[in-house]
Structure 1
Amino acid sequence: MVIPVHDINPVRRTPWVTYALIIANVLVFLSTPGMPGSLAGGESLAQLCHLEAFMDRFAAVPTELVHGRIPQLVPTGQVGVGPHGPGCVVAPRGFHKSAPLSVFTAMFVHGSWLHLLGNMLFLLIFGNNVEDRMGHIRFFVFYVVCGYAAGYGFALLNAGSSDPLIGASGAIAGVLGAYIVLWPRARVWVLVPFLVFLPLRLPAWLVLGFWFALQAVYSSGQGVSDAGTVAYVAHVIGFLVGLFIALPLKPGTPPPPKPPGLLFGRRARPHYQTW
């Protein structure tokens, strides 16, 4: 898996929405109770009970999205002692939960620092250009639409699952799909792990196309051992939705600048004429 670090594709205006999304995601993670690495984190039973209650309230659950069955007995976040020892207290739900709204809130919840930082890195590198092309408001609507498409698409394919679905990956996959349509030849600096991390400058169609191919393979359960814990199919759906939404914007999109100097990690041959 290559790690993008920078694209050679300047923007004309400050990507305020991209920055705001990154800040919001980081703040939500830092305030997530019971999440290791967050300011409210920890591994005590009390923290784990708080985490269960938090996920029940803000994560998207496929069975709730597809069938509309919102459970009435939910974790309260409190610790109690039962016949089998200490555990999390379950009681009737004391608040109303909207399944459609949970898809939106789930876009800001992440399961680890690695999950969060990986998503925010891709959003920072590729989101600024897509926002620049679409404009602030349209980009935010586009981001949310891709997130909803990925969330509901995953739910329809896993209608019997009650596992919480969290993360901004589906929405960010839509951003990647838009980027590969609008700037397929933009150069992207990446780190390729091969004994050490090798810096290379590759075209966006290769970097993002390879990423999409991996998600498609992993979504089938091939080549990865944790396919059940990562919603790869949501990535595939989000990417395709973002790609098709961006197609009408392709005409009139200014091409990225031609990068001088290094090409694919090597010095490009200078152009000259003989006489």
Structure 2
Amino acid sequence: MSDTGSGQEPRQTGREPVFMLPAVVTALGGIMLAIHLATTLVLDNVGLYQLTLWFGFVPARLLIPDQIPGGFLPLIWTPFSHAFLHANWEHVIFNTLWLVIFATPVARRYGAIPTLVIFLLTSAAGAVAFAATTLPSVQVLIGASGGVAGLTGAAMRFIFQPVLVGTDPDTGQRVLLGRHLASLREVFTNPRSRNFSLIWIVLNAAVPLVPALIGQDIQIAWQAHLGGFVVGLLLPPLFERNWQHE
């Protein structure tokens, strides 16, 4: 498989193992699992608190920097670094599995660097959405959910679309170009991508109502999910390349 950053799915040569993952997906998942394992084995509660404080995203730094260690400075890296920290094993395992499912088609279509860019930008977008809905309270965002949601949004642009047949610009031969990149309108007129997207958006938007229904609070950063997903929907055209298709 290709990691060249091309805009369409490359042609495959030979047979590959069924469970082979793109290197960037394996690396991202491995890093998240390794960090959580290391923090579990090495850090005590004080160390975990310091790690979360310096690498989790704390929007309140914008308003009360003098009351939080580090002041404004961690806002440079924490919109991204929060994605590599997780609250518990269930949290990191769920995010890793979701990453594998939706980052894999994105990585196979665009390559390693665009996949990493989408993950980091949508993690930051999730952090912005979290800040916009939690300030002025002091809350901390950790977890890869925003970035994984962004890769899910990016995948919605093509995984349910038809495969294109085109002409190789060098040889003139007919080739499979990969799946059509849907416009936003096509995403919401295709029944499968529309239903998946709407169900996903509604479920996340409904999270704030859950405490009123069950009588207890739940720690789900639904804002990060929505922010990441929406920005992920917008990014794929930046990484497409042009083909002559029929």
Is this a same-fold pair by TM over 0.5? yes
Distance in structure 1 (CA, Å) of the matches to 2:197 and 2:215: 22
2:41 alignment counterpart: 39
Offset of residue 234 of structure 1: 1.1
Following superposition, the deviation at residue 71 of structure 1 comes to 3.3
In the alignment, which of 1, 26, 35 is matched to residue 33 of structure 2?
26
| 1:158 corresponds to 2:134 | yes
The aligned counterpart of 1:216 is: 205
Taking the aligned partners of 1:224 and 1:145, their CA distance within structure 2 comes to: 34
Mapped partners of 1:156, 1:49: distance in 2: 29
In the TM superposition, residue 245 of structure 1 has moved relative to its aligned partner by 1.5
Kindly state the Cα deviation for residue 244 of structure 1 after the two structures are TM-superposed: 1.6
User: Where do 1:1-275 residues align within 5 Å?
Assistant: 15-32=22-39, 38-40=40-42, 47-64=44-61, 66-67=62-63, 69=65, 71=67, 74=69, 97-184=73-160, 206-207=195-196, 209-219=198-208, 221=210, 229-246=219-236
The answer (yes or no) to whether the contact 1:63–1:159 under 8 Å persists in 2 is yes
| Contact kept? 2:54, 2:74, Cα under 8 Å | no
Partners of 1:11 and 1:129 within 8 A in 2: no
Q: Which runs of 4+ in 1 moved over 2 A?
A: 9-14, 38-41, 95-98, 203-213, 219-228, 246-253
Partner of 2:168: none
Aligned-partner residue type, residue 112 of structure 2:
H
Amino acid paired to 1:53:
Q
Query: 2:215 & 2:149 partners in 1: Cα distance?
Result: 21
Larger helix share, 1 or 2: 2
In the alignment, the residues of structure 2 paired with residue 100 and residue 112 of structure 1 have an alpha-carbon distance, to the nearest angstrom, of 25
Kindly state the Cα deviation for residue 39 of structure 1 after the two structures are TM-superposed. Answer: 2.3
SS in 1 for 2:103: helix
Higher radius of gyration, 1 or 2: 1
* Whole-angstrom distance in 2 between the partners of 1:248 and 1:180: 15
TM-score normalised to the size of structure 1? Answer: 0.62
Q: 2-side partners of 1:173 and 1:154: how far apart?
A: 14
| Higher-RCO chain (CA-CA 8 Å, sequence separation at least 6) | 2
Rate the CA distance shift 1:96–1:213 in 2: closer, same or farther, 3 A: closer
Matched-pair contact (CA < 8 Å) for 1:18–1:131: yes
Question: Where do 5+ consecutive residues of structure 2 fail to align?
Answer: 1-8, 13-19, 163-191
Change in Cα spacing, 1:136 to 1:251, as seen in structure 2 (3 Å) is: closer
| Cα root mean square deviation, aligned | 3.3
- TM (normalized to structure 2)? 0.69
Contact 1:219 1:231 in 2 (8 A): no
| Counterpart contact for 2:105–2:159, Cα < 8 Å | no
Query: Where do 5+ consecutive residues of structure 1 fail to align?
Result: 1-8, 33-37, 42-46, 75-92, 187-202, 254-275
- CA distance in 2: counterparts of 1:108 and 1:170, whole angstroms: 11
